[in-house]
Chain A
Amino acid sequence: MSKNKTLTKKDQMQQDKAQDGQQMLVDFTRPRTNPMANVFDGLVRFCQSRSMFMLHYCTGCGAIELPPAMTSRFDMERLGIQPMVTPRQADILLITGYVSVKTLKRIILTYEQMAAPKYVIGICSCTVNGGMYWQSYATAKVLREYLPVDIYIAGCMPRPEAIIEGLQVLMDDIKTGRAENWKRYFQNYDYYLGNQQKLFGDHWQTPTDIISEARHYDLITENTLGKHTALLEKHQAPLQALEMTLQQNRERV
């Protein structure tokens, strides 16, 4: 595997140091020395907060309050928030309610496909602690363990006003630069991957190479690599392109 070769000695050392951590959600921000960069960052953040695309994915029953919030009555679009159909172009991933294990896999795939900066909003009580499905064998209970959540909107289910207010809080957070939770996924990838592996089995892997992305964003910390990522390296099957052969001149039946 090519990734094994690129694993430097320094990374290996970090990997050894890293623990099976629960308590290592450190916030890591790069110091900006250039004052002009700060001004420019502020402008960028303002623009980001005013045009947010949220992914059109109804993961649970809270999604029923999104159409009223989006359409004529509450009209989220006046805040610059619009549904978007593809994860590549979306900024917000709304987890609307309970996540069954089967959906959680798709949510993680979707989240990793989204381009940074990206934000996760957990709507409904079920994303916090399982909600009323606390004894259900099929739903994952604490969403925070698998993805970095920016904002929770409580309620079963929250009203459209509550959803809009939650989104406004997120906008403020983006404007002031507080909504940086997406970096945590790269910084603490080992922790999130460990929880995912615990639930989905040791052979869990996604097509997205998070470690290389973390390196690209310069967000590698001592918690990015660890024993769970080592397990991933061990089990990872090389990704194959989908084979699709098209025979042009075949008679149609």
Chain B
Amino acid sequence: MRPENYEARKHPPSNEFELNFGPNHPGIEGNYAFKVKLNGDEVLEAKADAGYLHRGFEKLMEGRLWIQNIALVPRICVPDPVPMEVCYSLAIEEIAGLEVPERAQWIRVMQLEMSRLAAHLFAFGGHAATCGMYTTMFWGVADRDLILDRFEELTGGRVYSIYNIPGGVRRDVPTGFLERLGSLLDYLESRLPDYDNLFFTNQIFIRRARDVGVMSQEQALKWGVTGPNLRATGLAFDVRRDDPYLVYDQIDFDIPTEPGGDCLSRNLVRRSELLQSIRILRQVIERLPSIKGPIRCPIPNPLAWNVPVGESYPRVESSKGELAYYVVSNGGDKPYRVHVRGPSSMHAVQVLEKLAVGSRLEDIAQIMFSLDACPPEVDR
């Protein structure tokens, strides 16, 4: 039994051969596959094969209440679930005309940045594993776990928090949480030199990652690349600054860029973004106690909530790039249509197919992890 989309070539014209790469392969992030055409170990052509994680989210959401979908959306991107909730909530708030209290907005920013820290630690940890440097992965995952502990304290859930609801957040910040978060940030910052020594300035990594999977800024813009991958080509674009949502316009942060556009640059951008996220979180810790007020605005009974007719397209900067939801309401208690624009739907398919050409077989995993491609966002 071969996969149904497999077409055996009876007589290849040369010493080219085809290889099914994934889904059951440790070099693939998640459950995803490639069909690659090789000459030796040089990749001549790569074709993505998605759908292993397809659950039909957009169909499921049409059959559930507005509030029920909050539990559904974080499953779309497992390593970085919070932006999904926030973006979906923003969409409903825009349609229904809800005013989110300022305190809730700051708590959302705090969560988003915690999630970004966790996702970036996971991303470069995974990349290190593809270069055979497992220590970085072990450390990165263990440090990410400390952030998950804080999530658990704040929301009750380690991975899926289901904490943001239309109109605000579910609960207020527990007593002493901000101090514990502050000491966690100090710890993470003190770990960065260790990561530098182990990974970012490690010659093994630099030699493997430099000039691999290179794209120019022009190509990146043409291919629809967003997020850290776009910033690694030298363009300082960030949805948080250029299309501000929540209270990001009141927060002071830089947008790190790198000129190279290769795997190394993409990882260095993520490393710099760790520092920026820590900086944003410190500002949140400083400002949040002085912002009093409710944590959510009153909403109608969510079990019988007919959101008025309308549509919205909010965009959020997730750790992988530009995330957007197109939500249409026809005045019913369920969404009429929800379209999820995951950043990886570009990165994992078209961009990866193009970057893989000309590289070597063992670099495909590295390119995939450096793009931080998240297959469930493609499949939905």
Contact = CB atoms under 8 A, between A and B. Distances in A.
Given A72-B141, A100-B55, A139-B55, 12 more contacts: A60-B53, A61-B53, A67-B122, A67-B141, A85-B26, A100-B379, A135-B63, A138-B54, A204-B1, A207-B1, A243-B8, A247-B15
A159 B59 contact: no
Interface stretch (B70-78, B233-241, B334-342): B70-78
B75 A136 contact: no
Contacts of B78: 61, 63-64
A105 to B, nearest CB: 8
Nearest to B51: A102
Contacts of A8: none
B305 interface: no
B158 interface: yes
Contacts of A206: 1
Interface string A194-224: 0000000000111100000000000000000
Interface residues of B, number: 46
B137 A71 contact: yes
Interface stretch (A13-21, A40-48, A51-59, A146-154): A51-59
A243 B13 CA distance: 12
Interface string B9-37: 11111110100000111100011000000
Contacts of B11: 243, 245
A132 interface: yes
A191 interface: no
B12 A102 contact: no
A234 interface: no
A250 interface: yes
A168 interface: no
Contacts of A60: 31, 53
A72 B138 contact: yes
Given A73-B142, A102-B54, A103-B52, A65 B14 contact: no
Given A71-B141, A103-B31, A132-B71, A245 B376 contact: no
Contact of B24 (A57, A64, A133): A57
Interface string A98-131: 1010110110011000000000000000000000
B17 A244 contact: yes
A100 B51 contact: yes
Contacts of A1: none
A205 B1 CA distance: 6
A185 B1 CA distance: 19
29 contacts: A57-B23, A59-B52, A63-B78, A64-B78, A67-B141, A68-B141, A72-B141, A83-B26, A85-B25, A87-B24, A100-B52, A100-B54, A102-B54, A103-B53, A105-B1, A106-B23, A132-B72, A133-B55, A135-B60, A137-B56, A157-B160, A205-B1, A243-B9, A243-B10, A243-B11, A245-B11, A246-B15, A247-B15, A250-B15
B141 A106 contact: no
Contacts of A105: 1, 3
Contacts of A252: 39
Given A71-B138, A71-B141, A72-B141, A138 B55 contact: yes
Given A61-B75, A109-B1, A136-B59, A247 B14 contact: yes
B12 A245 contact: yes
B159 interface: yes
Contact of B142 (A56, A72, A83, A246): A72
Given A103-B52, A242-B8, A247-B14, A61 B376 contact: yes
Contacts of A34: none
Contacts of B158: 65, 159
B139 interface: yes
A121 B53 CA distance: 19
A250 B14 CA distance: 7
Nearest to B379: A100
A248 interface: yes
A204 B2 CA distance: 10
Contacts of A205: 1
B52 A106 contact: yes
Contacts of A98: 55
B346 to A, nearest CB: 21
Contacts of B39: 252
A128 B146 CA distance: 30
Interface string A64-81: 110110011100000000
A3 to B, nearest CB: 16
B53 A100 contact: yes
B90 to A, nearest CB: 23
